[in-house]
Structure 1
């Protein structure tokens, strides 16, 4: 039986929007333990002590190597590769011909001509398609996340250590002072007799290290970290808390990939519909392009470099002269949130369920942000911050409404309700929200993002 591709599925559903809004495909899953203690305490750990997060299972790895590996990535990425040598990593960003975002992931330059792209698979698919169809002298191997992998464990383990005591834990487990490593640079360490690569990084906007190596070494390395971390308040973090880490660092995890233009028909015919996610939220435009964002809209403008030719360069050059939206944190009004939650305990049709700590119920969440009756942006990822006692979302809004303190409205819930499995009968409501900086947490904004 042939596999249905995205182009065929769009024709069957009568358009890209109805296909994605009613898609049965799940929101992103973190296939690890939900909670080791409770998600509130686990969120607190990366602020007050040291959090250990297991990244081994929820991300896709695409390894690309060969003489043309860097040329392929440079042709597709908005990033500069001028000084991107082995031992470095970067947030790789790809756009379509019109300058709209396809996706992003962390790109590791491991050795000469050898790269590893790690993250959500939207950008992996695009890179793999161009490798297979573009005549590049390179090869790739792919390791899907543990939910989608056909069989066997991951190829690589990945652990994240972050928080104020992360460096102390690292020094104890390594048994020596840590080498000076610049942000997003890598070094090699030895833990429990195992060779470990360490990336200077922090998912929640706190001091941190991403550690990775062969899967067969993973348990031994993890046990050593846990033992070393006991005196420094190390807490293992489960899937629930981990899913909210991006809200503090202000990384928007899954904007809708801009792959529905006529120029990308060949890609849609190559891409299986199972690779697409679901579209959820109060945005109800029938035009799929109204859900697109540019790199500037979601805070990636600083990564765009025009020192090389790449897909979408001319369009982005024009967009850069007039950035359309800015990334902000929206702090939801606590009384309005309480009212929405309370509607489930009263007779009548309730508001859409607000799940905590992460409230996203589709892979590509797109909720309308209003100033009065005017649409001024899209809220794209919402959740609860136990450290702040607040519900927040990451959004992109028109510059005129991006000043901290501005009062806006998030429209929560769908009208009409879609057929997604995660959508129950509900009424659409409005929740007041106040614009705040992104990242919202001062340390993440002034220390982490300043690097």
Structure 2
């Protein structure tokens, strides 16, 4: 198919959004960095036991937006409040379609007056670019794709994330100064190896940490200084395999299905604008002829507190309606039954077809992964992202389930595998299996203490 084909043209050719997306050959998002520096089990443990260094320079996409109307552009599209959002701050930017269903989320950095960097998966960056091009905004945008898609040259910025119990001591050693008391998702500045580095106060698994970033030309010197100081603090470099599982403990759903197929004229215009190459595949045991069954709202995935009605934004009216009643679903962690997982993996060693291959440590096999969650044979939710946590020695997934079943300890069942089998290259002939699971808190790594430390 031509790379320039629009989503609208591809939809007309396929006849059904579900048929189009289920059979797309597009894989899950991958991290174009070294898979392992030691082994992913040791690397997973580092952000709980010592200090993890995660190189974010290559796998995320940046959209740099500058101009007098840049803030208005973001405010028009985000469910977030922008009251008091000045330079030196960041926020999780959440966007929805006119019907209130998720387009996606990203991290918005307010760098300087009239200067922003939106960092994340392409879904939200495309949505913002579309509105900038069609609207009357005095602003310009520059896109820096990730290193797997960039035509040439290095990234604009380096990004190094330091997380774990010894992260702050390491930073004090490498900077020669006390770490500033920055609030969660506020920014600070450090001097490392003579270079000015900006830093976002972050957290992983309830542990303190910072995301450092600056011009690419400074990255090598900053990294060398971090590695040298890290030798005294148990620093572990984390590769793509372990890093891809970090969201499972922190409770972030990395690639929710974007609600692209609504009847609103705005969405029809967007489908004409959006290339099919920017659209992700769907995978998992969820099977329906209605693409809306894959859609999620901000309330489904725990973003309800982010929604603020102090400004006008795309989708506001729909979310105001949803906000009038308690959320029907709640985001949870599902801990998969060890015996059932072992049996599924073991089926690969017996005459087949057996269960769908469960890759370690991240088991998703499409851009947007949604598996059925059942209770007494009835659908009660969807499992969204799944993988293995060496710290817990457990297979877990993030899920959104009926709120009445969100109490920790509730027993449910996850359906693993596709029927009918799709045409995606990552899907082999297999049989669906049912895997018992128990509801647990979300976020899981730190339970109720996440963000508190």
Task: Report the equivalent of 1:298.
Answer: 301
| Residue 448 (structure 1) shift | 2.7
Q: Which residue of 2 aligns with 1:376?
A: 380
Equivalent in the alignment of 1:274: 277
Partner Cα distance (1:171, 1:447) in 2: 24
SS class of match (1:180): coil
Q: Distance in 2 between matches of 1:358 and 1:38?
A: 14
TM-score norm. by structure 1 comes to 0.98
Show the counterpart of 1:112: 113
Checking the alignment, whether the CA contact within 8 Å between 2:3 and 2:277 is kept in structure 1 is no
SS at 2:158's partner residue? strand
Runs of 4+ with deviation above 3 angstroms: none
The alpha carbon displacement at 1:440 in A equals 1.1
The residue number in structure 2 matching 1:151 is: 152
Q: Deviations over 1:156-177 (max 9, x none)?
A: 0100000000000110111111
Distance 2:229 2:452 in 1: 30
The answer for the alignment partner of 2:69 in structure 1 is 68
Look up the SS of the partner of 1:231 in the other structure.
coil
Map of 1:341 onto structure 2:
345
Q: Which of the numbers 385, 398, 420 marks the counterpart of 1:394?
A: 398
Structure 2: distance between partners of 1:353 and 1:304: 38
Distance 1:294 1:352 in 2: 29
Q: Is contact 1:78–1:303 with CA below 8 Å preserved after alignment? A: yes
Tell me whether 1:308 sits opposite 2:311 in the alignment.
yes
CA distance in 1, matches of 2:209, 2:289: 42
- Alignment correspondent of 2:365: 361
Separation in 1, partners of 2:452, 2:384: 23
Aligned residues of 1:92 and 1:104 also touching (Cα < 8 A): yes
Q: What CA deviation, in whole Å up to 9, does each residue of 1:258-299 have, x standing for no partner?
A: 111122010011000000111000001110111000001001
Shift of 1:84: 0.4
Inter-partner Cα distance in structure 2 for 1:153 and 1:13:
37
What is the alpha-carbon distance in structure 2 between the residues aligned to residue 271 and residue 381 of structure 1?
A: 25
The answer to whether the 8 A contact 1:157-1:214 is kept is yes
Cα deviation 1:22-71 (Å, max 9, x = unaligned) = 10112101000000000000000000000000000000000111111011
- Aligned match of 1:17: 18
- Whole-Å Cα distance in 2 between the matches of residues 390 and 141 of structure 1? 42
The alignment status of 1:413 with 2:417, answered yes or no, reads yes
CA distance in 2, matches of 1:30, 1:172: 30
Per the alignment, residue 427 of structure 1 pairs with 431
Task: Report if the CA contact (8 A) 1:202-1:210 is conserved.
Answer: no
CA contact (8 A) 2:206 2:452 kept: no
CA contact (8 A) 1:13 1:19 kept: yes
**1: CA distance between counterparts of 2:34 and 2:4?**
32
Quick one: distance in 1 between partners of 2:164 and 2:204? 10
**Separation in 2, partners of 1:325, 1:144:** 34
Query: Counterpart in 1 of 2:292?
Result: 289
* 1:332 maps to 2:336: yes
Rounded Cα–Cα distance in structure 2 between residues aligned with 1:269 and 1:132: 14
* In structure 1, distance between residues paired with 2:404 and 2:450: 26
2:356 and 2:430 in contact (8 A); partners too = yes
Cα distance, 1:372 vs structure 2:
1.4
Task: Give the number of aligned pairs.
Answer: 449
CA shift, 1:178, in A, is 1.2
Aligned equivalents of 1:116, 1:173: Cα separation in 2:
26
Q: Any conservation in 1 of the 2:7–2:274 contact (CA below 8 Å)?
A: yes
Alignment of 1:26-41 (within 5 A): 26-41=27-42
**In structure 2, the residue corresponding to 1:201 is in which secondary structure?**
strand
Deviations 1:287-329 (A, max 9, x none): 0111000001001111111111111111101111221210000
Other structure's SS at 1:227 match? helix
Select the residue among 429, 437, 441 that pairs with 2:441: 437
Residue of structure 2 equivalent to 1:196 = 197
* Residue number in structure 2 paired with 1:446: 448
SS at match of 1:142: strand
For structure 1, which runs of at least 5 residues remain unmatched after alignment?
Answer: none
